[in-house]
Structure 1
Amino acid sequence: MPQKTKQTPMMEQYLGIKANYPDAFLFYRLGDFYELFNDDAIKASQLLEVTLTSRNRNADEPIPMCGVPYHAAKGYIDTLIEKGYKVAICEQVEDPKKAVGMVKREVVQLITPGTAMDSKSIDAKTNNYLAALMTTPTNQFHLAYVDLSTGELKTTELTSLEEVMNELMSLKTKEVVFKEAMDLEIQEKLKTTLGIMVSTQNDSIESAEFSYLTDDIGNKDLIGVVKLLLSYLYVTQKRNLGHLQKVEVYLPTNYLKMDHYSKHNLELVSSIRTGQKKGTLLWLLDETKTAMGGRLLKQWIDKPLIKEQAIIMRQNIVESLINHFFERTDLNEALTRVYDLERLAGRVAFGNVNGRDLIQLKTSLLQIPQLIDIIQLMNKGEWDKLLTELDQVPEVVELIDQAIHDDTPLSIKEGGIIKDGFNEQLDTYRDAMRNGKKWITQLEAEEKAATGIKNLKIGYNRIFGYYIEITKANLAILPEGRYERKQTLANAERFITPALKEKETLILEAEEKSMTLEYNLFTEVRETIKQYIERLQKLAKTVAAIDVLQSFATVSEKYHYTRPLMVANSQEIHLIEGRHPVVEKVLGQQTYVPNSVEMTQDNEILLITGPNMSGKSTYMRQLALTVIMAQMGCFVPADKATMPIFDQIFTRIGAADDLIAGQSTFMVEMMEANEALRYASKNSLILFDEIGRGTATYDGMALAEAIIEYIHEEVHAKTLFSTHYHELTVLDERLSGLKNIHVGAVEEEGELVFLHKMLPGPADKSYGIQVAKLAGLPDALLSRATVILEQLEQKEAVVMNHSVTSEIPTLENTKELTDDGQLSLFGMLEGSEAEIVRAVRKTNLLTMTPLEALNCISEWQQKLN
C-alpha cells in the first residue's frame, strides 16, 4: 500500500480547519491573499474565473490551489454567495511575532446565503431572510425567521407543509435551518421544489441574550425554533448579536391571507412574464424615499390588514397627507436625507460599521426634529401615536458630532476619523506630528541656505525613514563631515543627522500611536452607540411607516384614487367606476375604460362571459388589487368604494403548471380550486378564470357547473367566475345568488371591436374566430373554421329543436316495424318502460347539471325495478 504523502504543518492546519466546514469554501488567509486548496480550489477557479495553480507542483501529488487578493475578496465572496454557496473566512488570530511554530488560525465567520449582510445582490429595499423550521409529533410546524442586516426576528405556528412552503416563498427565503437528521423528507422537498439551501444545527445554545429575546413568548415550541435559529447565527457569525430585536409572534390569520399562487397570479411584487418589479402592484405603489420604507411596503403588500380600526388609522394619515400638499413635500425632502437606519444599527452592533456609516447615522437623526415639526402642522389626532415614537436620540447625534470627522475616510485603521479636541492624548500626538513635519520643512530651508545647494531636499520612505538627499553633481560643494551617509543611489546620495533622526523617531512614534489610539477611540464610540440600538430600531420602524403612508398619499393623489368606506362583517361590494391600477398606469388614465363591481348581500357570484382579450381577467384582478390596496390602508382606483373586509383571497387565473412536482396545468388548476373550496369562508374573495378548460369539454363544463353550485350552496364567498361555457349562463334561473354579466363587444364591417365594458346579462357568443383573426391567423384557415362552426351550430339547432318540439309518442303510435318486419324494441315496450322512454326522449340533457342527470337516471331505475 503506497505511503500517504506527509503534509506540511501549514497544510495540516488547513485540513484540520476544513474538516469542520465540509460544505463551505474555506478562504484561508496567507499574507495578502485568501488561498483555497484541493477541491475548493478546482471548483472556485471555475466559479470565480481565477487561475488554478498548484502547491508543491514537483511532488508526486501536487495540491490544486487558487487565491484571491485580501483587499478584493468581498466581490469574490459575494459571487459565491449569490450562486448559493457558503464561505468560511479563516484569519490569523495571533501576532506572528509572538507565534511559536504555525501562526494560529481560526474561522472568524461563516457567510451563507441567509446570513449575508451587505452582498451586492441584496437590494436596499429587499429583506434577506434566514429561516428555521421544526415539526411536532402532532404535525404542527414552527417557523422562525430573521433578517440579520436589520435585526427583524419573527416566529409563527403553521398547520400544514403547504402553509410552510407558501410562507417561505412569500419571504423569498434563501436558507432554512433544521435540526440535524430531522425532517429529511421536508428538507429534500425544500431543496428540490423551492431551490432553498438547507443547513443543520444540532446543538441549541443557551444564553442570557437569547432568553431576553424570547421571554415574551409563552409557547415552548416557538421558543425552541427561535433558539435553533439563534444558535445557528451564533455558531456561524461568531460575534455580537445585540442588534436582534425581541421576537414578534404573529399568526397568518391576523392578516388577509393569500397563498403563493394567488400572489403570483395577481403580480403583487414580481411580474409573471419577466419576474421583475415593473408592472406589479409594488411598482405602482413604491414612492418611498427610504430603503427601510421600501422593505416595509413589501411586507404590507404581503400581509394586508383585517382589523377595521387599524385600516382606518392608516387611511386617516393618508388623507391628512393628501390634504397637506406643501407639508407632504417638505416631509418627503426630509425623508430623502434619511439613510437606512435599520441596517446602520445592525452594522453598529455587528461591528462592521465605519466612520462614514456613523456620519450617515448622524445625518439621518438630524432629520427627525424636522419630521416632528412638519407632522405637528398636519396633526389633528391621527398622528399622535407616530409622533410619540419619533425618538430624536440626541445622545447619539451629540457623540458622533463631537467625535467623527464629516469627511472621514473609509478605513477605520489608518487615522483621520476622530476630530481634534475629542481626546487630549490624540491631540498631543497630532501636535507632535504637525510640529515635527513643520520642523523638517524649516530644516530643509536652513540646509539649502547653509550649503548653497538649492535642490537639496528632505524626503521619507518606509524602509529608510527621513533623509537628506543631494545629487551627485552637488556633492563636491557639500562641507566635509556635515552629514552622516545613509544610502547611495545612481544619481544621488542620502544622508542623516542626529537631530533629524531624533525628530523622525518622534514623528513616527506619534503617527503609529495616534492611529492605534484613533482606532480604539472609534471602537469606544461604536460601543457607546450600541447602547442605543433598540431605540434606533424603533425609530427606524416609525420612519419606515411614515414613508409608506406618504407613498400611499402620493400615489393616491397622482392617480385620483378615493378613500374606500370599509364595513366589517358586510357582504356588499359597491365599487363604482373602478380601474385596474397597474394597467391604468401603463395605458394612461385617458385610455383606460373603468368598470363597476356591485354585489349585494344576496348576490354571491358574478358569472362573466365574453370573448378572449376583452378584459375579463383584468376585471377580476382589478377587484382583487383594489381589495388588497384598501386593506393596506391605501386609497383605491374608483370614483366611489364601499367594501367589506375580506379574510382571504383565492385565485385561479391563467395557465400554470408545476413540472418539477409532476403536475400538469389542469392538475394545478384543480389543486388551486380545491384550496378555495376547502378553506374559503363567506368573508373570502374567490376569482376563478376559465375553470375546467384544461380537460375535455363535457368534463370541464361539468366540473365548472359543480364548482359554481358548491360555492353557491356551501361556501357563500364573493366569487367572480369567468367562463367560455355559455351553457352555464342558464344557472341564474335556479341559483338565486348568481348574476350574469359580460364584456361588451360588437362587430363593425366584419371587424371585432372590444368595448372593455361590463354589461348585465350573458354574452351572445364567444367571438373565438374573430379573436383568431385579430391574432393574424391565415384567411383560408379562418374561412374553413367559419364553415365548420356553421355546420356545428346547425347540428346543435336540429338536436335542440327535436328534443324540445318533437311530439311525445304514446304506446300505440310507437309500434313500428323494423326492416325485417318485426316490431321495434320501442314498439314492444309496455307500461312503465314506455313511460321512461318517453321521458328520455323529452329530456334536454344540455340544460341539466350532472347531479340532475344522475337523479333522473336513479328515478328511472327505481321505476324499472
Structure 2
Amino acid sequence: MSRSPQASTPESNDNLPKRATEAAKKVAPENTDHRTVDRSKLTPMMQHFAQLKDQYSHAVLLYRVGDFYETFFQDARIISEALELVLTSKEAGKGVGRVPMTGVPHHALDRYSTMLVEKGYAIAICDQVEDASVAAKEGRQVRREVTRVLTPGTLMEEEMLHARRNNFLAAVVIAKNHWGLAYADISTGEFLTTQDRELDLLVQELMRLQPSEVLIPTNAPDLGSMLRPGQTSESLPDCLPNSFCYALRPQRHFTLAEARQRLLEQFRVRSLEGLGCEHLPLGVRAAGGLLEYLKDTQKENYVALQILRTYTIADYLILDHQTRRNLEITATVRDNTFNGSLLWALDRTSTAMGGRALRRWLLQPLLEIKGIRARHDTIAELVENTGLRQDLQQLLRKIYDLERLTGKASSGRANARNLVALGDSLLRLPELADLAAYGSSPYLKVIQNVPPQLEELGHTIQEHLVESPPLHLTEGKLIRPQVNQQLDEMRGQAEEDQQWIANLEVTEREKTDIPKLKVGFNKTFGYYISVPRAKTAQVPDNYIRKQTLVNEERYITPELKEREARILTAREDLNRLEYEIFVGLRHEVALEADRIRGVSRAVAALDVLCGLAEVAVYQGYCRPDMDQSREIRIIDGRHPVVEQSLPSGLFVPNSASLGQNKLQVDGELKVDGELNVGRLKVEGSSEFNVDGEFNVDGELKVDGELKVDGELKVQGSSELNVENSNEQPSNLQPSNLQPANLGQKATLREQPSNEQPSNLQPSTNTNLQPTNLQPSNLKPATETDNPDLIILTGPNASGKSCYLRQVGLIQLMAQVGSFVPASEASLGICDRIFTRVGAVDDLATGQSTFMVEMNETANILNHATDKSLVLLDEIGRGTATFDGLSIAWAVGEYLAMEIKARTIFATHYHELNELASILPNVANYQVTVKELANEIIFLHQVQPGGANRSYGIEAGRLAGLPTSVIKRAKQVMKQIEKHSKIALGLRKGIGKQLLARKTTGQKVSDQEVTIEQLDIFDD
C-alpha cells in the first residue's frame, strides 16, 4: 500500500509478483504507478481511476468493470502479492500502452476484501451506479463512484467480523504527557472516551482494547497514509506500539472546536455536560476525530453509534500487557491460541454478545465491591437454582446477536434474513423476562423489565417478512401476503399473467395440432413459441418468426409480447414495492435501536453469569468473600485452566495467605485508658477506620494512619472532627489536641503513609466498649501471619510458576465477579496485578533478555502500591550470579519494606530465604518433593519453609543430558556448596542494618547504608 500521496520512483519489473504474466512483464516502468504515467494519453476510464486513486491514496482501489472488480498500476501489484492472484496487464491508451492489472469476480468481493483487511489494507470500492446499457445508448462511460471504504476498524460485514470479539476503531490525541482516547465498534454501536496522564497508561489501554485501527492526527507529509502493523513513520509518536494499523489524519479534524461541534450534532445535544465529557478536552478531540473518519469512510451509509460514554481507567483493576500475556487471559503464551487460555476455561456463553462481554470483563475487572457482589449474588442464585439456569441457557441459545443485527439495521445494511433473526430474538425476550422473574438477584431483576415496544416490533417483523427470504433485497419474495393491499393487487395481476403463459402451451398445441410445440423464455428474446421445423407449415398467420435454429423455429405473437411486457413490468414494480416496504420496516428497527441495545447488554451480562455459574457447578468453585482489606486468603486453590486440562482429581490444590490484617470499627469504640497503637492488624481495610464515634479518655498514640469517618472525641479537650474519610495523619495537627483538665493528653506521632504501624499493645487499664467489636478481634500481626512477601523456592518443574499464576487468576476472577477454584477464599480488592514471568530478548528494540526483565521489574517497582498483587517468577537470572542475586535481594527488600505490596517471589536464589529472618512481613514457602534413592518425586505441594535445593541437575537428567555431563555437574555442585558462604555474608552485611531499621522505625538513607563486603568464598 502506498504510504504517501507523492510520486515515487517506479518499481522495476525485476520485482514483479511470482504470478506475473508475460504481458505484465513487458509493461513500461513509468506505467506501473498512477502518479508517473502520462495521464493525458490515458483512456477516460483509466483517467477516472487515476483521479479516484489520488483521492484514496491510502487505500487499494477496486474498480467495477462488468462482472469484475479490477485494479491497476501499483495496486494491481499489491493485490497480486497479497492474494496470490495472477498479475496481467490492460491497454490504457494508444499513447501509453499497457498497465498492470489484477481483478477479482464481483461475487467473490467479500472473500477477497476480508483477506486484504486482515492483512491491514484499506479498500476503496468503486461501483457502477447506473445501468451500463443507459451509458452505452448515450455513447459515454458508465458512471462510477466510490460507494464505501473498508478499513480494519470500520467493518460491518458479518463474514469479516469475529463473532466473539469486538472490532474497535480507536482515535488518540496526545498533548505532552496527557492523552485522550476514544474508541467505537460500529458493528455494535459502542462508543467510549477517556482521558488521563502517563503515556504508559495509554499504551496499556490500547493493548487491552486491541483496536483493529488507530487514528492519529498529524500534519506530516505522509498525511492520509495507512500504516500496516510493523510499518513506521516519523508521524507516529514513539510511545505507541507498531503492532496496530494506524491511519494518519489531518489535525484540523481533531481541533476542540470542530470535535465538539461534531459531538453536539451527532447526539443532538446543546452541551457535552450530559455526555460527561465536558471536562475531557483531549477525549472530546479524539471522539470528534473518530466521528469525522466514519463520515469520510462510510459515505452515505449512516453509522448509528450509542450515546458517548466516559470512563476512568482508575475505576478498574489495571492489568498491563505483560500481566494479560503471562496470565494467559485470552490466549496462550506459547502459541497464542484460544485453547488453554482463561477465556477458554470460563466461556460457557450461549450468545455471541455474551462471548464478547465475557472477554471485556476478563480484561477489565472491577474495583467496586458493590458491582462485584451483584455479580456474585446472581451467580450464587444460578448455582443454587440449577433448573432456572438451564432453562435460561436453553432460551439464550435461541437468541441471535442483537447488538450487531441492530447495528446493521440502523446503518441500512441489514438484509431480510437479518431482520427475521432479529424479530425471532425480540419475541424471545418476554419469555426470558418471565423466566428471570423466578429469581431475585440483581442481574435477573434487570432482565425482567423488557420494553413492550420490542415485543410489538418483533411481531411486526414476523408479520411482514416471509420465514425464509432471499439473500438479495431486489429479488422480491420478501413480504408476506395481506401486508400491503397494493402489493396484493399487483401480485394477483402478475399471477394471472403467469398463469396465462403457463396455459398458452396447452392451448396453442390444441389450436395448431402441433404436439411438440413449447413456450420458452430467454434473456435475448423474452417469451417465445418453439415449433419443430417439420411442423412449420402448420404455424398460424399471427405467429412472427424471430429465430431459426437447426431443429426448430422460434416465434412470437402480439398478445404474447403484451403479456410479457406486463409480466416484466409487474415484476420490477413488485420488487420495488417490496423493497420500499422492507426499508420502512428496517427504519422502524432503527428507531428502537437504543431500547434493543439496552436490553442486549442485559442479556449479554446474564449470559456471562449463567456460563460462570455452570463452570462453578461443574468445577466446584466457591464464592469469594470480598472486602477492602489487604488480605488474600485462599484455601485449597486450583489453577482454573490446568485443572480442566488434567483428568479429574489429579490437580494438587494449594493454599495462599498474603497481606497484613487490619482493624475496622463500624460502631463506637471507647478507650478509657491509654491505647498505644503500633502494628495494627485491622480486618477489612488498609487504615484504622472509625465509622462511628471514637472517644479517648487517655493518651492516643498513632504510629500509622488514622482514618475517621465519624467523630473523634478527646475528653477534657476541644473536639477534633475529621469529616474526610481519606484524612491523612499529616492533616491532623497535634496542636489541635489540647490537654484535658485532668492532665490527660492526646498526641499523634506522624509516620509516612506507606509505613505499617507496629504491634497493637493495649495497656492493662484499657476498657474497650465497642458496639460491634470484641477485644479478641484485636490481634497483633506475627511474622508468619499473612506476610506481605512470600519467598517461594523449590525444584525446577515443581509447579512454582503454576502456583503464581493460580493466585493471580483467582484474584482476577473474583474481581471479575466470578466464583473461584478454591474451597474457600477471602480476598481484599487489588488495584493492579503485576507479573514478571519469564523473558525473551526483544530484537526489534535491541534489548537483551536481561534488559527486558529489568524493564518489567522497574515498571512494577515504579507503579505498585500496597493494594497491588505482585507475582515474580525469577529475577536476575539473565546476568552474573552475584549481580542477579543482589538485584533479586534488593527488589524483594524494596517490595516488603517500601511498597508493602502483596507479593509472591518464586526464585532459585535460596539465599533470599534469609529475608524472612530479617523482615517481619516476609515468609518462606517451598514446593515440596520426595527424594528416593535415584530420583525425586514432585509432590506439587506448597508448604511453609524454604528449600535449599533446586534439583536442577535432576531436571537435566530427566531431559536427557548425557550421563557424563550429569556426573560432572554433581562434582562441581559439591565444590560450590562446600565453599560458598553467600547466606552468611548476607546475614552479616545486611541483616544488622535492616534490624536497626526495624527496631527504630526510622528510614535509613542511601548515604547511611554501608553494606560490608559479602564474604562469599572464605575458607
TM exceeding 0.5: yes
Return closer, same or farther for 1:256/1:132 CA change in 2, 3 Å cut-off.
same
Asked if residue 35 in structure 1 is aligned to residue 63 in structure 2, the reply is: no
Question: Which whole-Å CA distance do the structure 1 matches of 2:438 and 2:142 have between them?
Answer: 63
Deviations 1:721-749 (A, max 9, x none): 11111111111111000011101012112
**Superimposed CA distance per residue, residues 301-337 of structure 1 (whole angstroms, 9 cap, x where no aligned partner):** 0001111111110011111111111221111111111
Residue 79 to residue 855, structure 1, CA distance change in 2 (3 Å): same
Q: Tell me which amino acid in the other structure corresponds to 1:431.
A: G
Q: Does 1:7 align with 2:42?
A: yes
Q: Which residue of 1 aligns with 2:632?
A: 573
Alignment of 1:811-830 (within 5 A): none
**CA deviation map 1:473-532 (0-9, x unaligned):** 2224x1552533332221111222333222222212211211122222221211222111
- Residue of structure 1 equivalent to 2:86: 51
Match of 1:145 among 183, 187, 199: 183
- One-letter code aligned to 1:481: D
Work out the CA distance in 2 between the residues paired with 1:590 and 1:231.
57
What residue number does 2:341 align with?
280
The Cα shift of 1:19 comes to 0.6
- Deviations along 1:271-310, one digit per CA (max 9) or x if unpaired, are 0011011111100010011111101101000001111111
Q: CA 1:852/1:515 → structure 2, altered by over 3 Å: closer, same or farther?
A: closer
SS in 2 for 1:410: coil
Would you say the 8 A contact 1:372–1:390 is kept in 2?
no
Alignment of 1:95-134 (within 5 A): 97=134, 101-118=140-157, 120=159, 122-134=161-173
Residue in 2 aligned with 1:816? none
Contact 1:345 1:533 in 2 (8 A): yes
Structure 1, 42-51 or 734-743: larger mean CA deviation: 42-51
Tell me which of 640, 645, 657 is aligned to 1:598: 657
For 2:955 and 2:588, locate their aligned partners in 1 and report how far apart those are by CA, in whole Å.
69
Equivalence map 1:517-596=2 (5 Å): 517-568=577-628, 570-596=629-655
SS at match of 1:387: coil
SS at match of 1:157: strand
1:315-714 residue pairs with structure 2 within 5 A? 315-379=376-440, 383-388=444-449, 393-476=454-537, 478=538, 480-481=540-541, 483-568=543-628, 570-599=629-658, 600-601=660-661, 602=781, 603-714=787-898
Return the offset for 1:853: 12
Partner of 2:266: 210
Q: 1:652 to 1:308 in 2, by over 3 A?
A: same
Q: For the aligned residues, what is the CA RMSD?
A: 2.7
**TM-superposed deviation, 1:392:** 6.3
Number of the residue aligned with 2:193: 155
Range with greater deviation from structure 2 (20-29 or 51-60): 51-60
1:761 matched residue in structure 2 = 945
**Are 2:207 and 1:169 equivalent residues in the alignment?**
yes
- Structure 2: unaligned runs, 5 residues or longer: 1-29, 31-36, 224-232, 662-780, 782-786, 995-1003, 1014-1019
When residues 209 and 38 of structure 1 are mapped into structure 2, their CA distance, relative to the original with a 3 A threshold, is same
Instruction: Answer yes or no: is the 8 Å Cα contact 1:727–1:847 preserved in 2.
Output: no
Instruction: Give 1:115 shift.
Output: 1.1
Matching residue of 1:734:
918
Aligned twin of 1:809: none
**Amino acid aligned to 1:691:** I
11-20 or 206-215: which moved more? 206-215
SS for the counterpart of 1:554 is helix
Q: What SS does the aligned partner of 2:218 have?
A: coil
In 2, Cα distance between the equivalents of 1:347 and 1:10?
33
Q: Distance in 2 between matches of 1:721 and 1:330?
A: 45
Quick one: structure 1 residues 110 and 695, their matched pair in 2 at CA, closer, same or farther if it must change by over 3 Å?
Answer: same
Code of the residue aligned with 2:164 in structure 1: it is K
Query: Paired residue for 2:243?
Result: 194
The one of 48, 53, 71 aligned to 1:18 = 53
More deviation in 161-170 or 337-346? 161-170
- Using the aligned pairs only, state the percent identity: 40
- Would you say the 8 A contact 1:132–1:229 is kept in 2? yes
Contact 2:203 2:240 in 1 (8 A): no
Q: Counterpart of 2:141 in structure 1: which amino acid?
A: M
CA distance in 2 between counterparts of 1:391 and 1:429 reads 34
* Amino acid aligned to 1:487: Q
Aligned-partner Cα distance in 1 for 2:366–2:801: 25
- The answer to whether the 8 Å contact 1:402/1:419 transfers is yes
Verify the 8 A CA contact 2:621 2:822 in the aligned structure 1. Answer: yes
C-alpha distance in 1 between matches for 2:1010 and 2:810: 46
Which of 286, 289, 307 is the matching residue for 2:368?
307
The one-letter code matched in structure 1 to 2:123 is: V
Distance in 2, matches of 1:290 and 1:274, equals 27
Shift of 1:31: 2.2
The AA in structure 1 aligned to 2:266 is F
For residues 214-233 of structure 1, the aligned pairs below 5 Å read 215-216=274-275, 217-218=277-278, 219-233=280-294
Q: Normalized against structure 2, the TM-score is what?
A: 0.77
Structure 1 residue 784 corresponds to structure 2 residue 820: no
Alignment check: 8 A CA contact 1:175 1:199 kept: no
| TM-fit CA distance, 1:783 | 0.7
Compared CA separation, residues 282 and 684, structure 1 to 2 (3 A): same
- Alignment partners' CA distance in 2, 1:362 and 1:714: 60
* Mean Cα deviation higher: 708-717 or 199-208: 199-208
Please state if 1:65 is matched with 2:101. Answer: yes
* Gap change, CA 1:641 and 1:747, over 3 Å in 2: same
Whichever residue aligns with residue 316 of structure 2, its letter is Y
When normalised by structure 1's length, the TM-score is 0.90
Corresponding residue number in structure 1 for 2:776: none
CA contact (8 A) 2:152 2:213 kept: yes
Counterparts of 1:63 and 1:274, CA distance in 2: 43
For 1:381 and 1:645, locate their aligned partners in 2 and report how far apart those are by CA, in whole Å: 21
> Which structure has the highest helix share of the two?
1
1:180 maps onto 2:222 in alignment: no
Paired residues, number: 817
Matched, 1:75 2:75: no
Cα deviation, 1:783-826, whole Å, max 9, x if unaligned, reads 111111112222237x99xx99xxxxxxxxxxxxxxxxxxxxxx
| Alignment partners' CA distance in 2, 1:470 and 1:843 | 112
Structure 1 residues 615 and 314: CA distance shift in structure 2, 3 A: same
Kept in 2: contact 1:286–1:294 (CA 8 A)? yes
Cα deviation, residue 210, structure 1? 2.4
Question: Quick check: 425-434 or 235-244, which moved more?
Answer: 235-244
SS of residue matched to 1:378 = coil
- How has the CA–CA distance of structure 1 residues 858 and 519 changed in structure 2, closer, same or farther, with 3 Å as cutoff? closer
Asked whether the 8 Å contact 2:377–2:441 carries over to 1, the reply is no
Is the 8 Å Cα contact of residues 130 and 175 (structure 1) preserved in structure 2? yes
Q: Is the alpha carbon distance of 1:395 and 1:389 closer, same or farther for their aligned partners in structure 2, counting shifts above 3 Å?
A: closer
Taking the TM superposition and a 5 Å limit, the aligned residue runs for 1:720-731 are 720-731=904-915
Distance in 2 separating the partners of 1:121 and 1:505: 41
**Unaligned ranges ≥5, structure 1:** 805-841, 861-865
- 1:533 Cα offset (Å): 1.1
Distance 1:266 1:350 in 2: 38
The one of 928, 932, 944 equivalent to 1:744 is 928
